[in-house]
Structure 1
Amino acid sequence: MTQDDDNQNLVLGILFGVIALVIGLVIGLTTYVTGQAQTAKPAVVAEEPEIAEVGEPLVKLYFDSGKAELPANAAEELAKVVAKLHEEPAKLVLISGYHDETGGAAVNAEVSKARALAVKDALATAGVAADKLKLRKPAITLGGADEAEARRVEVRVQ
């Protein structure tokens, strides 16, 4: 009888081992498949094509070095943009931020972007529809004799 008990214990041990392997396999596959679904590539978002600047800017706003706060004359200058857009409502507002080469490139690009976004937000607050406001990527420029020229945002109605 002890040999039958030993055989029965061996079979039960193998059976429990197989059951544990199956459960582990199911849990592992579920985790793997769920992880794949969560780390799947995000849907491709179509990037808007770059809009070319046409003509001279209607407004140029000059910012302090390293700052993105709108200058004191911003409301008065941006009112020109709103008025022009009311005259020609089919046109778009193109906002272009610039920065100089001093400092780190990444920081400069972020400051330039923050300046352009501040202008965009001010125009939206002034009543310009969001779909009319387009941003260009930050651009490096040399300010020439006037360093402020490199720290500007240009606004065109085109």
Structure 2
Amino acid sequence: MGYLIMPIATVLFCLGFVAQLMQLSQAAPGAGVPGRMESAAAVTAQQAQAYGAACISTAGATPGLVGASVVPVLPSGMVTPAGAGCMAVANPGGGRDVYGYVRVSSGASAALLGSTQGSLAWFRVRSQGTAVNIATGVAYPVPATIPVGSLVHWVQLNT
């Protein structure tokens, strides 16, 4: 009679082994839904960083350039991200405010903050016309044309 338990024990052992393998496969970096969300956040943060830098460098290379739709010179192989924009606005105190903004997925602010080592030039638009610095949490007014949920690279130029 003891031999009847052997097939049941074998099936239970195999089920336990399969369950453990499934858990290990989900623990790999980038696996599952959380890993996909983290990867999407990192990619959109990198796109925002590259687009913001291109916007600032284009506006800085063209003194006096002011406009609501500046076309930045992007790195080779990069296409303009969906929902991205670049604008240069005359500052009443002199100089220009340059805004490079990109619509990003959730979690991109944290990824960007880590990759820029806490740069104070990055903001997240929380409500129409108001952006919050992602490093300090202080709110500042921005042009109302920048969409809510965008990451903004905001630099003030003196030229």
* TM-score calculated relative to the size of structure 2: 0.33
Higher helix share: 1
The structure whose RCO (Cα within 8 Å, separation 6+) is larger is 1
| Structure number with larger C-alpha Rg | 1
TM-score by length of 1: 0.33
